[in-house]
Amino acid sequence: MRYRSTRDARPAPAIHSFEDVLLAGLAPDGGLYVPETLPTLDVTALSQPSYRDLAAHVVGLFAAQDFGEGELRRLCETAYAGFRHAAVTPLVQLDDRLWLLELFHGPTLAFKDLALQLLGQLFDAALARRGARVTIVGATSGDTGSAALEACRDRSAIDIFFLYPQGRISEVQRRQMTTVAAANCHAIAIDGTFDDCQDLVKALFADASLRRELSLSAMNSINFARIAAQIVYYVAAAVALGAPDRAVSFAVPTGNFGNIYSAHVARAMGLPIERLVLATNANDILARYLAGGDMSLADVTPSLSPSMDIQVASNFERLLFELKGRNGAAVTQAIAAFRRDGVLPPDDQAWRSAGKLFAAHRVDDAATLAEIGETYRQTGMLIDPHTAVAVAAARAHAARDEDDAPLVALATAHPAKFPDAVARATGVRPPMPPVLAEIMDKPERVAVLPNEVGAVTRFIRERSRLRRRAA
C-alpha cells in the first residue's frame, strides 16, 4: 500500500510507505496522507473473528508491506489486552432497530483508545526497527490527549506533548492528562480554543528545521494509521449484525471528522453500510455544509459534548480530496481560501457528491439532555453527552428514512467522564469506575502557556530528550 499527500499537486505525486506515514503524521506540504488506492475487504471471509484478529487483518490491508502478519497479531494482542470488555467493542441493543456500539472500554474510557493503543505499539515497533526516536506533538479537545499520553507512557523512543484549550475541557479529561506520571509525557494548557491549539501544532510542523531537529510526529486524528485502526470496529459491528447479507447504518458523533471518515473508508472498501449519519452538536459547520453547501467558519461554542466543539474538522480534507477528483492543486487552493476567508469556495458538484455519502443532524445541548433522559427512562442506561448526540441523530434519521437497516449509534465516551451532564438529565450520578477514581487524588503536572508559537516551541525544545541528547 502506497500513500500520497492530499496537497501534492505534481502529476506524479511523491509516494510513501505505511511506516513513513505512521511516523510522520502530517505531510511536509501541510496535507494529509491518503492511500493511492483502497484495499478491498472480503466480508464473506470474516466469520466472527476475535477483535484482535480482525484488527490484525484490517490494519494488515494497509500496513502489510511494513508489518508482518505475526507481528501485527502480537501488536494487536498487546494493544487490546487492557480493555475491560471481552468483546473490546460490545454492541448493546436499545430498541427494535437501534443499537449502541460501546467504544469506551479502554484505559481512558473514550473511543480514542481503540486507535491510539494500537498506534503506541506500531510506533514502538517501527522506531525500534529504525533505531530512531520521535517527539510527538498534538492538539486535543479532550480525549485524544489522554489516550495518546496513556499509549506512549514510559516508552523510551518517544517524548510526547499535548496541547489543550485551558478551561474548556472537563475536570476528568484534564486530570487524565495531567496525572500521567511519566517523564516523557507533557500536558500543555493553552490560553485559547481547540482551533488555536490545532493551529499551533500546524505551525510547529510547518517549521522544517524544528521538525527535523525534534523528529516531530503526530498521533492525533490526522494520522492515517488511526483511520485504519478505527475501521476495525465498523467491520466488527456490521459482521455481528449480519453483514455481508444485511447492510447496517451508523450514526457517528462528529468533531474532527476522523471517526466517520473511517466509516466512509470501510464502506468504500466493500463493507455494506446503508447510511452514514453525521451527528454534530451546536458546532454544526459540517451539518450546515451537507445541508446547503455552505462551509463557513463560526466561533466555537462550548457545549456539553466538548470533544466535538470544533469548527475546522481537519480530516474533512481527506474527503475534499476525493470530492475534488483527487486533485492536489484544487485541494491546496480550496483550503488556502478557507483559511484566508473563513469560507470554503462553493463547489456544487462536490457538495452534491457529499450529500450522497452522508446524512447529517445537529443536536444542541437541550436535545442532548433530553436524549440522555429519554434513553435512561426507556432502557435504564446512562449515556454520555457525545453518545447522546449520536443517539438523537439516529432517532431523527430513523423517523425520516424508508429503509429498515439496523442503526448503530457510536457510544464514544463512558458516562462517568461527563457526570454533571448525565446527572442533570437523569438525576442519577454515574458510578465512577476505579480507573477514574484513582486520578482524582493524584497530583497534577501541567504547563500553562500563552497562545504563541514561540512560547510553545521553547517549552518543547527545553523538555524534549531528543534535543537534550543532540545538544
Ligand X SMILES: *Cc1c(COP(=O)(O)O)cnc(C)c1O
Question: Catalytic one among 112, 202, 324, 417?
Answer: 112
How near is the Cβ of 306 to ligand X at its closest, in Å?
9
Q: List C-alpha distances in Å: 180 to 119, 185, 230.
A: 18, 7, 24
Q: Is residue 170 at the binding interface for ligand X, with CB under 6 A as the rule?
A: no
Taking each helix axis from N to C end, the angle separating 258-268 and 224-240, rounded to the nearest 10 degrees, works out to 60
Helix (H, G, I), strand (E, B) or coil at 186: strand
Stretch that binds ligand X, among 85-93, 107-115, 128-136, 338-346 (CB under 6 A): 107-115
Helix (H, G, I), strand (E, B) or coil at 360: strand
Burial 427-466 (b: 16+ CB within 10 A, else e): eeebebeeebeebeeeeeebbebebebebbbebbbebbbb
How near is the Cβ of 256 to ligand X at its closest, in Å?
3
**Strand-strand pairing, 248-253 and 359-362:** unpaired
Nearer residue to ligand X within complex by CB, 259 or 426: 259
How near is the Cβ of 242 to ligand X at its closest, in Å?
26
Determine contact, residues 273/238, Cβ cutoff 8 Å. yes
Q: Is residue 386 at the binding interface for ligand X, with CB under 6 A as the rule?
A: yes
How near is the Cβ of 198 to ligand X at its closest, in Å?
11
Nearer residue to ligand X within complex by CB, 110 or 172: 110
Determine contact, residues 249/243, Cβ cutoff 8 Å. no
Q: Name residue, grid cell 479502554.
A: 106
Determine contact, residues 143/110, Cβ cutoff 8 Å. yes
How near is the Cβ of 290 to ligand X at its closest, in Å?
14
Active site residue 112: yes
Nearer residue to ligand X within complex by CB, 254 or 332: 254
Nearer residue to ligand X within complex by CB, 107 or 253: 253
Nearer residue to ligand X within complex by CB, 176 or 254: 254
Q: Is residue 257 at the binding interface for ligand X, with CB under 6 A as the rule?
A: yes
Q: What is the grid cell recorded at 11?
A: 502529476
Nearer residue to ligand X within complex by CB, 58 or 110: 110
Q: Is residue 412 at the binding interface for ligand X, with CB under 6 A as the rule?
A: yes
How near is the Cβ of 269 to ligand X at its closest, in Å?
18
Nearer residue to ligand X within complex by CB, 124 or 143: 143
Binder among 176, 221, 223, 303 for ligand X (CB under 6 A): 221
Helix (H, G, I), strand (E, B) or coil at 88: coil
Stretch that binds ligand X, among 17-25, 105-113, 122-130, 157-165 (CB under 6 A): 105-113
Distance from C-alpha of 55 to C-alpha of 119, rounded to nearest angstrom: 12
Distance from C-alpha of 112 to C-alpha of 147, rounded to nearest angstrom: 6
How near is the Cβ of 226 to ligand X at its closest, in Å?
9
Whether the CA torsion 263, 269, 271, 272 is positive or negative: it is positive
Total residues at interface with ligand X (CB under 6 A): 18
Binder among 110, 126, 282, 312 for ligand X (CB under 6 A): 110
Q: Is residue 368 at the binding interface for ligand X, with CB under 6 A as the rule?
A: no
Helix (H, G, I), strand (E, B) or coil at 116: helix
Nearer residue to ligand X within complex by CB, 280 or 332: 280
Q: Is residue 4 at the binding interface for ligand X, with CB under 6 A as the rule?
A: no
Helix (H, G, I), strand (E, B) or coil at 432: coil
What string marks each residue from 237 to 256 as x (binds ligand X by CB under 6 A) or -? ----------------xxxx
What single-letter amino acid sits at 217?
Answer: S
Residue spans of beta strands (DSSP E) within 254-304: 273-280
Q: Is residue 307 at the binding interface for ligand X, with CB under 6 A as the rule?
A: yes
Q: Is residue 308 at the binding interface for ligand X, with CB under 6 A as the rule?
A: yes
Q: Is residue 281 at the binding interface for ligand X, with CB under 6 A as the rule?
A: no
Distance from C-alpha of 466 to C-alpha of 470, rounded to nearest angstrom: 6
Q: What is the grid cell recorded at 44?
A: 464473506
Q: Is residue 143 at the binding interface for ligand X, with CB under 6 A as the rule?
A: yes
Q: Is residue 89 at the binding interface for ligand X, with CB under 6 A as the rule?
A: no
Q: Is residue 430 at the binding interface for ligand X, with CB under 6 A as the rule?
A: no
Q: Is residue 392 at the binding interface for ligand X, with CB under 6 A as the rule?
A: no
Residue spans of beta strands (DSSP E) within 94-200: 98-102, 134-139, 158-165, 185-190
DSSP string, 304-331: S-GGG--SS-TTHHHHHHHHTTS-HHHH
Stretch that binds ligand X, among 78-86, 109-117, 176-184, 197-205 (CB under 6 A): 109-117
Active site members: 112
Residues that bind ligand X (CB under 6 A): 110-112, 142-143, 221, 253-259, 307-308, 386, 412-413
